[in-house]
Amino acid sequence: MIGARPNFVKIAPIYTQMAKDPTVHQALVHTGQHYDREMSSIFFEEFGLPDPAFNLGVGSDGQGRQIGRIMVELEPLLQELHPDRLLVVGDVNSTVAAALVAAKLGIPVAHVEAGLRSFDRTMPEEINRLVTDQLADLLLTPSRDADANLVREGIDASKIEFVGNVMIDTLVHLKPRTERRWPGLRDRLGIDGDYGLVTLHRPSNVDRPETLGEILTALGQVGRHIPMVFPIHPRTRHRMEEFGLNVRDAGGTRIMEPLGYVDFMALTSHARFVITDSGGIQEETTYLGIPCLTVRPNTERPITVTAGTNQLVEGRRDAIVSAAEAVLDGGRQARSAPPELWDGAAAGRIASALTRTM
């Protein structure tokens, strides 16, 4: 079950691994939560995924209506298919909606990326994570702290299996392609020397004009020291237009349309640093050893701070500028060893756990 851009990165290596087992039949269901080419179909092409067997086509909406529409569309499909297990990944609305429907129909649920916690219930994703993990019967975790979170919440330890970070599988698998793509991408974007990379999409950063304006002002100030490249999320572009903020407010920052995974990871791999509010990019930069400034007060991936290159930064102009200047003054941060089982082989462990427990 998939629905949004982060899901595609995680499901691709699992689907590929499970396809090697002739005794397993898979049916890929796409809710359509992300549906345009830049946020959806390009990833199927890049990851070599087949077209979904079923596409619910729910589109964008407020979270309550979106979750409700997914449930309405998914219930008759699961009643018809009645699979031995439903696999959900991540923490988007599609994840929790699918888990709710399956649990009510008595279909076992396996959750990839279980146990991550920001301990901030103002984040919709945190609610999605909490509910999904309570409903799942197999909880596949990316890090040891996730195991501890689940046990603390009363989850039976026999349901928990530490498998590592499957996002890194995709990164490792496609790294040769990203490197081959880099020279042409660099020339096409006119990149000459060091640059910073920016991504922003979380409501807490982009849905309030004062916060978004503060961040854009910070980017403009940082852009006086180093060029900034900003592939913009549709939500962020819409908010900039709504609030009357434009490219000029970001100073030397170059704003462009969203990129596919291969191009984006080529940019990430060669950046001097990344400014983001994305959970997945915190993980990818940790593996790559690229300094990451996460514009959030907390993270559900604390291992990227304690064992990686990630730093949490308040969404204020002075805080962002100070953190970026510190990275520039200190040079490129030394590569750290990847966290435990972030080794490009998580999909094999997930496939083993799934087939063993079905």
Whole-number Å distance between alpha carbons of 17 and 346: 10
List, by residue number, the catalytic residues. Answer: 201
Contacts of 324 (CB under 8 A, 6+ apart): 196, 218, 222, 225, 226, 273, 275, 293
Q: Which residues pair with 254 in a beta bridge?
A: 229
CB 339 within 8 A of CB 321: no
Which phi and psi (to 5°) does residue 280 adopt?
A: -65, -40
**Numbers of helices and strands, H then E, in the chain:** 15, 12
> Residue 178 class from Cβ within 10 Å (0-12 exposed, 13-18 middle, 19+ buried)?
buried
- The residue to which tokens 């993270």 are assigned: 299
> Residue 48 class from Cβ within 10 Å (0-12 exposed, 13-18 middle, 19+ buried)?
exposed
Whole-number Å distance between alpha carbons of 43 and 34: 11
Whole-number Å distance between alpha carbons of 155 and 139: 9
CB 11 within 8 A of CB 2: yes
Q: In what helix (H) or strand (E) does residue 147 lie, and over which residues does it extend?
A: helix 144-152
Residue type, 194: D
Dihedral angle over CA of 231, 233, 237, 243, nearest 10: -120
In order of 6, 88, 311, the CA distances from 300 in angstroms are 15, 18, 13
Q: Looking at the chain, how many residues does it have? A: 358
